[in-house]
Structure 1
Amino acid sequence: MFPTPIDKASAPVRGLYKVALPLSLLIWLAPIIAVALTSIRGQADLTSGNYWGIPTQWQMAENYAAVFRNTPILHYIGNSFLVTIPTVIGAVAMSCLAGYALGIYRFKLNLLVFFIFVGGNFVPFQILMVPVRDLSLKLGLYDTVTGLVLFHVAFQTGFCTFFMRNFIRDLPSELIDAARVEGASEFQIFWKVVLPLVRPAIAALAVLIFTFIWNDYFWATVLIQGDHAMPVTGGLKTLNGQWVAQWQLVSAGSIVAAMPPVVIFFLMQKHFIAGLTMGATKG
């Protein structure tokens, strides 16, 4: 039923694994390597088509300095934080409340409501582009950070509720019953019993949502037009020159823009792994 551990597999399978794993890793890393190399090249290399070879002009300091000096990337990064942090807080908070209600209480429409939350994740977001844009225009939220935050909170809450409901549902019901016997209110049970127990899951979910929202490009360009509210993913396209494509600056800006999620992941790595493996073993 389960795959055979690689150390117990046959010799040909082990040999194939040793060849396929580095090759797959190289293919996966190839775009990142290309961007990193491009970010330290000079314009002459790109003009001559030297995309993968050793750079003839090493301009790491010049390219990265130009990104911060000649472009508003810090402003775009600030906008990304203004969008991402409230979204993470809002989506995680709402999903904890909804997950608690769906995981603890037993009512007739429990499963139906849960399926509604889950079903929203299967709707292709491209078909929502026009109605969401029209709605944001009618509500006066188009081209604003608030509008983008509200949309992301609404769109991410379904996945977050699915995530939190399953973790909360696995908690021992005896803990909830004991708290009720002691006279704790439902909010006290939620705040002092449930949330501390699912803290690793909350941390893992926060890291996932932070990464999803920070890397969003589609909705950043659909709901935002001006630079005043444009996140960094949408703002990177402005790093190109008007007449000449400055891919070295775009690549350097992409590396800079990718740093916050990487830093967040490594800072929260312990909690992230604990959250993903929570409930994997019993006893």
Structure 2
Amino acid sequence: MSVTADPVQDRTEALLKPHEGGPKSGRRWLMPVVLTLISLIWLFPLLLALVNSFRDYAYTAKNGYVSWGGFTLDNYKNAWSQGDFGLHFWNSFIITVPAVLLTLFLSSCVAFVVARFSWKINIALLGFFLAANLLPPQALLIPVYRMFRAIQVPFWFSESGTLLNSFQGVILVNVAFQTGFCAFVLSNYMKALPKELYESAVIDGASVTRQFWQITLPLCRPALAALAVLQTTWIYNEFFWATVLFQQGDKYPVTSSINNLRGQFFTDNNLVAAGSMIIAVPTLVIFFVLQKHFVAGLTLGATKG
């Protein structure tokens, strides 16, 4: 007795079976090669700076930077002492941590109101907070400087009696410029949350404040982690407003330490490279600690149809 094959099953297996050959099969290797080359081109300056940060300046001056040898740890020791990294790291910590926490909190509040309540001013409110990101900081330099100089504050809040030359002033500027972007991202994230959660919370008698703290914020953990990494990097590396608002060098953030490594007549590029590597360490640590949540926040919605 002969067994008759199922034509539908045979066709399905033929469609699912990967086709060999064809016009596109020879180009499958092209995209990985192109991406690898782009990655190497992008990483080359960073790797070159990392390698030369461990090399002696006299050796590279004689043999060139594209050479091998002359390795030493003196560049990091000298950079730490000459750049006064201990003081400036502390200054950056004072500025970055409160600014990031305050930015995420305020933007979460704005995003919750925009996403949770259907008011006619929602779009206008979000646009108002986002407008700060559309203006270049240089255009606001003189107005912000004069405003901070005119605002009188208690001496326990600022030693100068104004918002100039104070950490609080730099923190407020960074919060003002970053809140709009974070509110825009979080509002889109919160709008994707199931409305049934809030309906069940209302039936159970949960107040709006409780919905915000116990439902919304825990569900927004990936987005908050991704924004925390971005905001820490941006505020930590920001030096424009610090240069404008600070009048004393001992309050500058760590990005100013690079200027202390430049000589009057020549610059030891290996020493500067070592200082740059030192400055980059905190942001790398934060990224690797929050890497899981950061990737989850960036890829949210990628698989939704």
Partner of 2:138: 126
> What's the Cα RMSD here?
2.1
Extract unaligned runs of 5+ from structure 1.
Answer: 1-7
Pick from 233, 253, 272: which aligns with 1:231? Answer: 253
8 Å Cα contact 1:170/1:279 also seen in 2: no
**Aligned sequence identity (%):** 39
Query: Is structure 2 residue 51 aligned with structure 1 residue 37?
Result: yes
Q: Distance in 2 between matches of 1:14 and 1:137?
A: 61
Structure 1 residues 42-51 or 77-86, which shifts more? 42-51
Structure 1 CA distance for aligned equivalents of residues 264 and 200 of structure 2: 67
**How far 1:271 moved relative to its partner?**
1.2
Shift in CA distance, 48/160, structure 1 to aligned 2, threshold 3 Å: same
**Does 2:147 align with 1:135?**
yes
Judging changes above 3 Å, is the alpha-carbon distance between structure 1 residues 127 and 14 closer, same or farther for their aligned structure 2 residues?
farther
What letter matches 1:278 in structure 2?
L
Match of 1:182 among 204, 210, 213: 204
- After superposition, the Cα gap between the structure-2 partners of 1:282 and 1:70, relative to the gap in structure 1 and judged at 3 Å, is closer
Q: Give TM-score scaled by structure 1 length.
A: 0.89
Confirm whether residue 102 of structure 1 aligns to residue 114 of structure 2.
yes
Describe the superposition over 1:169-208 as per-residue Cα deviations: whole angstroms up to 9, x where unpaired.
Answer: 1111121122112221111111111111111211111111
Matches within 5 A, 1:201-280: 201-280=223-302
C-alpha contact 1:40 1:63 (8 A) present in aligned 2: yes
Indicate whether 1:54 and 2:68 are aligned.
yes
Count the aligned residue pairs. Answer: 274
- Match of 1:86? 98
* Secondary structure at 2:28 match in 1: helix
Amino acid at match of 1:53: S
Question: Partners of 2:253 and 2:63 in 1: how far apart?
Answer: 31
Q: Which has the larger radius of gyration?
A: 2
**Structure 1 residue 45, shift from structure 2 partner:** 3.8
Instruction: Determine helix, strand or coil for the equivalent of 1:240.
Output: coil
In terms of mean alpha carbon deviation, does 135-144 or 251-260 score higher? 135-144
Counterparts in 2 of 1:157-168, with a 5 A limit?
A: 157-168=179-190
Cα distance change, pair 81–279 in 1 and its aligned pair in 2 (3 A): same
Amino acid at match of 2:111: G
- Alignment check: 8 A CA contact 2:223 2:294 kept: yes
The answer for unaligned runs of 5 or more in structure 2 is: 1-21, 152-161
Structure-2-length-normalised TM-score: 0.83
SS in 2 for 1:228: helix
Contact 1:102–1:114 (Cα < 8 Å) also in 2: yes
Specify the alignment match of 1:156 in structure 2.
178
Q: How far apart are 1:215 and its partner, in Å?
A: 1.7
Cα distance change on mapping 1:53 and 1:219 into 2, 3 Å = farther
